[in-house]
Amino acid sequence: MSAPSAQPHIQHRSCNICEAMCGLIITHDGQDVLSIRPDPDDPLSRGHICPKAVALQDFRTDPDRVTRPLLKRGTDFEEISWEAAFDHAAERIRAVQAAHDRDAVGVYLGNPNAHKFANLLNLPALVKAIGTSNRYSSATADQIPHHVASIHMLGHPMLMPIPDIDRTDFLLIIGGNPVVSNGSMMTAPGYGRRIDAIKARGGRVVVIDPRRTETAERAGEHHFIRPESDAWLLMAMLYVILSDGPARLRHLEPLIDGLDRLNAAVAPFTPERAAQATGIGAHSIRQLARDFAAAPRAACYARMGASTQSFGTLCQWATNALNIVTGNFDREGGAMFTTPAVDYVGMTSRRGKARSYPERRSRVSNQPLYNGEFPVSVLAEEIETPGPGQIRALVTVAGNPVLTAPNGRRIERALQGLDFMMSLDIHVNDTTRHADLILPGTVALEETVYDMVFHTFAVRNTVGYAPPIFAPPQDNPPEWEVIARLTAKLTGANQIGPTPDQVLAVLLAQGFHGESVSLAGLQQTGRPLDLGALVPNLAERLETPDGRLDLAPQAFLDDLPRLLASGDRHDPARPFTLIGRRQARSHNSWTQNSPRLVKGRNRCTLEVNPADAARLGLGEGDPARVTSAAGTVTLPVEITDAMAPGVLSMPQGWGQKQGRLTAATRTETVSINDLTDDSRTDPLSGNAAFNGLPVSLHPA
Ligand SMILES: Nc1nc2c(c(=O)[nH]1)N[C@H]1C(S)=C(S)[C@@H](COP(=O)(O)OP(=O)(O)OC[C@H]3O[C@@H](n4cnc5c(=O)[nH]c(N)nc54)[C@H](O)[C@@H]3O)O[C@H]1N2
Ligand SMILES: Nc1nc2c(c(=O)[nH]1)N[C@H]1C(S)=C(S)[C@@H](COP(=O)(O)OP(=O)(O)OC[C@H]3O[C@@H](n4cnc5c(=O)[nH]c(N)nc54)[C@H](O)[C@@H]3O)O[C@H]1N2
Ligand code: SF4
Ligand SMILES: [Mo]
């Protein structure tokens, strides 16, 4: 940290709000930010940023920010000292466990943790100190199907195929909108420009989405698809390709098992049947499959729309299978595996450790547990349902499940029945207002940034490190230290462990570039470094017990009858299908308190196809009432032919109603998760099936 001075200081740092890791140039005077600009020399983002980067300064100066430990007194909070807060937290956690059992304390870790390496390094010890198996995170409202596909096929949840978009000739995007979201499980800032580059070199980008998205517009080729029918499309593409000729497994051939089983599995998925399920014509499916297979280098990428739905895991499996049988797996321009400076896969290697999956099942509704976490879809019922293992206290760290988990208001009601709740957070919001104790977190500019997770998903190997710019308010400890001190209080240790920088130095030395990348070197140059394009390496990296790659794991084959039976699910009482969308000026549920981002018209609107609107007599801006099995919301209609008929789109992350968020609550918005249904999951992974929600629509 620099002392206040008249001379502006300059820092190069990557933005850690979303997965894109855009390079920023920040000028400041030690007291205030003077400017936040894109870094044209960043080897990954090459000058791209989005409107949220400039808001990084607002998170620090947000007048609604929690800056002291807060203890609930009656219906309000009073400030207490850090020492009193740690004592109270440890005492209450242990009291609940003493009265019941260790699992009586649940833990929920939210998305911002994935962007804070110091939290990632310290949270496992906290969870271990609490000693509960009732662990939850936002991952099961997001990407667990990707991990489950990787576990069963490649042996490690984080060994993740990444589309090598800078060298591909054919990119097939299913259920992702990276032009707005800036990419996920695929760190690729400046997506629009990267799409333009594919087209400029004679390649094609095709988007499959029930909404003609900003990405579809940029790509120029788009097919509407019926929500939740993507696995049908993928299986039919495999059917066409495997009927046309032998699979091209290339260098992976000696390692691959299960091609016969895959061939047998795709047999029922003819393009004609898939056309009925998806709404995409059989001819188009055949053509798409043949074009993909014929492209010199092709990559299929399936994301949120294809993961947070009832067939999420089948989609991710079939996506991998499509890339594999067309010879595009672990190959330039196809789906590749990163070699980042911190080797996340290596440091959590599962080699030689045979495991059975799912690791466990949940107590009340038998949902699967992967990666040591129960699906967030079962959180409410695990709080509500008596018996051994019932959750009676909850610790949240940077999470807002009331707004972000399916049927969030049920979770909210459940929270009110807890014996104790504590949150490490920056806001008193719809979730944390139910806590008995809130510990303040630190925000990006007060922390060291090093991205431990998203380099693992990046389309190019790069590395960057930047120290904190500003001190936390009120002499507060940095967030990682809060986690470490709470852990020490629980274990009775009289000191906390090594600093995140000390651990990072070791991890960098052990990583793929340990020869050339060191913490001291990064600190000295103060600039992100390019570590080069992705290289084929899967043969040495497979983490399966037998070192082989199974194209057709039994768990996935066993789920195919469910897909085959999924044809017509029309419900006359709820004839519309609701899907979600992301928006450029917000990130999940927590950036809406930046006046700079939230200003302007109400963007929490329901997108409706013109024919549907006309039939119901709904005009532009009219309030519409949307009802699902879980609830009802009313919001203004936006009429657009970007929506497929019968499908409605609503943005996620809105509906801040409670707490102390003055800017966020200025506009009347609603939460999509007042509608989503926690009984809808992908049964293979337990992931929430947000998309494809049956709803009714009426003028309000
Ligand atoms: N601006 C902004 N950026 C963000 C975020 C944010 O909140 N705001 N959140 C970040 C996070 S945490 C994540 S995980 C990523 C997610 O990044 P993306 O995966 O790109 O997520 P979305 O933008 O929600 O795009 C999902 C797409 O799936 C489509 N879809 C819905 N249902 C279906 C279906 O059944 N089939 C198909 N084929 N498509 C369907 C939707 O219409 C939508 O276009 O974004 C990250 N980036
Ligand atoms: N219907 C529907 N629901 C969805 C999605 C969808 O597309 N549709 N997307 C899902 C996805 S992909 C995700 S990742 C989840 C996200 O789900 P969550 O992780 O539960 O939600 P966030 O909105 O990221 O909330 C982050 C919380 O962390 C706090 N916070 C922000 N910054 C910091 C910080 O620096 N330190 C601390 N301690 N706290 C901080 C915020 O105040 C907020 O309480 O939502 C999921 N929910
Ligand atoms: S795209 Fe993501 S990483 Fe880049 S500036 Fe925006 S929020 Fe930050
Ligand atoms: Mo996410």
Alpha helices in 546-586 (DSSP H): 554-557, 560-564
pTM for the structure as a whole: 0.98
pLDDT digit string, tens, across residues 242-291: 999 999 999 999 999 999 999 999 999 999 999 999 999 999 999 999 99
Tokens encoding 357:
């999956």
- How high does pLDDT run on average in the chain? 96
Whole-number Å distance between alpha carbons of 611 and 608: 8
> How many Cα atoms within 13 Å fall on the side-chain side of residue 465?
18
Kind plus residue range of the DSSP H or E element containing 649: strand 647-651
Nearest CA to ligand 3 atom 6: 50
Instruction: Give mean pLDDT, residues 177-187.
Output: 98
| Best CA proximity match to 238, nearest among 271, 282, 277 | 271
Nearest bound ligand to CA 179?
A: 1
Residue 646 confidence (pLDDT) = 97
Nearest CA to ligand 1 atom 13: 184
Nearest CA to ligand 1 atom 5: 587
Give the mutation target among 117, 135, 423, 426 for probing the ligand 2 site: most ligand atoms within 8 A of CB. Answer: 426
Provide the 8-state DSSP code for 370.
Answer: B
Q: State if residue 225 touches ligand 1 by the CB under 6 angstroms criterion.
A: yes
Residues of the chain within CATH 3.30.200.210 domain(s) are 9-61
Nearest bound ligand to CA 578?
A: 1
Spacing of C-alpha 487 from chain mean position: 26
Q: State if residue 181 touches ligand 1 by the CB under 6 angstroms criterion.
A: yes
Instruction: Give mean pLDDT, residues 443-472.
Output: 98
Query: How long is the chain?
Result: 700
Ligand 3 site residues (CB inside 6 A) read: 15, 17-18, 20-22, 49-50, 52-53, 182, 189
Q: Which residue has the tokens 């299908």?
A: 577
Give the mutation target among 13, 14, 18, 46 for probing the ligand 3 site: most ligand atoms within 8 A of CB. Answer: 18
Instruction: Give mean pLDDT, residues 207-232.
Output: 98
Q: Hey, what CATH topology would domain 570-699 get? A: Barwin-like endoglucanases (2.40.40)
Instruction: Give mean pLDDT, residues 543-557.
Output: 96
Q: Give the CATH class of 9-61.
A: alpha beta
For residue 122, is pLDDT > 70? yes
For residue 4, is pLDDT > 70? no
pLDDT digit string, tens, across residues 571-624: 899 999 999 999 999 999 999 999 999 999 999 999 999 999 999 999 999 999
- Which ligand 1 atom is at minimum distance from the Cα of 177? 20
Whole-number Å distance between alpha carbons of 170 and 160: 20
For residue 2, is pLDDT > 60? no
Kind plus residue range of the DSSP H or E element containing 240: helix 230-244
pLDDT digit string, tens, across residues 470-505: 999 999 999 999 999 999 999 999 999 999 999 999
- Which ligand 1 atom is at minimum distance from the Cα of 583? 1
Residues of the chain within CATH 2.40.40.20 domain(s) are 570-699
**Do the Cβ atoms of 556 and 152 come closer than 8 Å?**
yes
Cα 423-428-433 angle, rounded to 5 deg: 70
Distance 110 CA to ligand 2 centre (A): 5
Whole-number Å distance between alpha carbons of 537 and 338: 9
pLDDT digit string, tens, across residues 655-699: 998 888 888 777 789 999 999 999 999 999 999 999 999 999 999
Residue 5 confidence (pLDDT) = 62
Q: Which residue has the tokens 């991998």?
A: 320
Whole-number Å distance between alpha carbons of 20 and 618: 38
For residue 1, is pLDDT > 60? no
Q: State if residue 142 touches ligand 1 by the CB under 6 angstroms criterion.
A: yes
The DSSP line for 261-307 is HHHHHHTT--HHHHHHHHSS-HHHHHHHHHHHHHSSSEEEEE-HHHH
Distance 184 CA to ligand 2 centre (A): 14
For residue 3, is pLDDT > 60? no
List phi, psi (to 5°) of 444.
-45, -50
Whole-number Å distance between alpha carbons of 102 and 93: 9
* CB atoms near residue 642 (< 10 Å): 19
Q: Give the CATH class of 143-341+539-562.
A: alpha beta
Whole-number Å distance between alpha carbons of 584 and 604: 12
Residue 660 confidence (pLDDT) = 87
Nearest bound ligand to CA 590?
A: 2
Q: State if residue 111 touches ligand 1 by the CB under 6 angstroms criterion.
A: yes
Nearest bound ligand to CA 184?
A: 1
Residue 568 confidence (pLDDT) = 67
Instruction: Give mean pLDDT, residues 191-209.
Output: 98
Instruction: Give mean pLDDT, residues 443-454.
Output: 97
Q: State if residue 589 touches ligand 2 by the CB under 6 angstroms criterion.
A: yes
Q: State if residue 593 touches ligand 2 by the CB under 6 angstroms criterion.
A: no
What's the first-to-final CA gap in the chain, in angstroms? 54
- If DSSP codes are grouped into helix, strand and coil, which group holds residue 650? strand
Residue 570 confidence (pLDDT) = 80
pLDDT digit string, tens, across residues 48-92: 999 999 999 999 999 999 999 999 999 899 999 999 999 999 999
- Which ligand 3 atom is at minimum distance from the Cα of 53? 5
Whole-number Å distance between alpha carbons of 689 and 680: 5
Distance 398 CA to ligand 2 centre (A): 7
Distance 515 CA to ligand 1 centre (A): 38
